[in-house]
């Protein structure tokens, strides 16, 4: 199990996907699972202020399937929808609700218990797999993260200003770090990689080098 945690826009998804490919591991983006719950909540007009029982009802009524880069909600492909900024925001707000975290925790534990998975999110190395063999905390300067996110959104034709993206990103990081249950934080035994001046290839290379180094020291 390789756990990769970190804030918004640090490049976790691309790095995790590439690392999984290099290792021949499965890849699981847990943020996409929270986003799928947000899409389901939005369909029926509920949000993070909704009562636990209603949220549980929603969670019981949906199936989330992560198939490589695609995410299916009740069998329907929602890969496009989950990348909307509004959905990221709602996912973050819903992820502060213990009832939501508890349901997704079970799915994530089941998906990773056999090993051979690169799992990325906010709490993988701290709460979901605290005994993961390898843990990375991937971060980058907040302005660089915002610029990357802005470029991604602009390429998809989104009408948004870079300053707005920066403000949203700061707000989401703050909320993810401040929530009571499984907040975003670096596990004490995580290897920190700062991608401010690195591209994806360099990040993956740095991760592979750390994995090989650790395996080498364990073998000796």
In whole angstroms, give the CA distance from residue 113 to residue 110: 5
In order of 1, 115, 133, 168, 191, the CA distances from 46 in angstroms are: 34, 35, 38, 21, 38
- Give 7 or 206: the residue with its C-beta nearer to ligand DC: 7
Please give the residue ranges that form the binding site for ligand DC (CB under 6 A). Answer: 8, 30-31, 34-35, 88, 91-92, 95, 121-124, 172, 176
Cβ distance to ligand DC smaller for residue 96 or 198:
96
- Supply 61's token pair: 């009524």
- Please report how close the Cβ of residue 96 comes to ligand DC at its closest, in angstroms: 8
Least CB distance from residue 100 to ligand DC, whole Å?
A: 9
CA nearest neighbour of 34 among 106, 85, 102, 94: 94
Closer residue to ligand DC, CB minimum distance, 24 or 118: 118
Shortest CB 51 distance to ligand DC, Å: 20
**Smaller CB distance to ligand DC: residue 11 or 31?**
31
- Least Å from the CB of residue 160 to ligand DC: 16
Cα 17 to Cα 4, 11, 52, 193, 195: the distances in Å are 11, 10, 33, 16, 16
CB of 182 to ligand DC, least distance (A): 7
Give me 154's structure tokens: 């602009």
Question: Cβ neighbours of residue 83 under 8 Å, at least 6 residues apart?
Answer: 35, 156
In terms of phi and psi (left: phi > 0; alpha: psi -120 to 50; beta: otherwise), the region of 191 is beta
- Output 92 or 103, the one with its CB closest to ligand DC: 92
């Amino acid at each position: 199990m390789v756990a990769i945690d970190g804030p918004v826009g640090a490049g976790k998804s691309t790095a995790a996907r590439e690392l999984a490919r290099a290792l021949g591991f499965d890849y699981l983006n847990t943020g996409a699972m929270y986003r799928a719950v947000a899409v389901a909540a939005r369909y029926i007009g509920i949000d993070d202020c909704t009562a636990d029982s209603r949220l549980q009802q929603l969670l019981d009524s949906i199936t989330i399937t992560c198939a490589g880069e695609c995410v299916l909600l009740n069998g329907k492909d929602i890969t496009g929808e989950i990348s909307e900024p509004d959905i990221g925001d709602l996912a973050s707000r819903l992820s502060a609700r213990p009832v939501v975290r508890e349901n997704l925790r079970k799915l994530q534990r089941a998906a990773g218990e056999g090993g051979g998975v690169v799992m990325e999110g906010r709490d993988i190395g701290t709460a979901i797999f605290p005994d993961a063999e390898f843990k990375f905390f991937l971060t980058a300067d907040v302005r660089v993260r915002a610029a990357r996110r802005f470029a991604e959104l602009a390429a998809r034709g989104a009408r948004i200003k870079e300053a707005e993206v920066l403000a949203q990103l700061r707000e989401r990081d703050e909320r993810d770090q401040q929530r009571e249950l499984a907040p975003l934080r670096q596990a004490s035994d995580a290897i920190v990689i700062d991608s401010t001046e690195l591209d994806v290839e360099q990040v993956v290379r740095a991760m592979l080098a750390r994995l090989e180094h650790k395996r080498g020291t364990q073998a000796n």
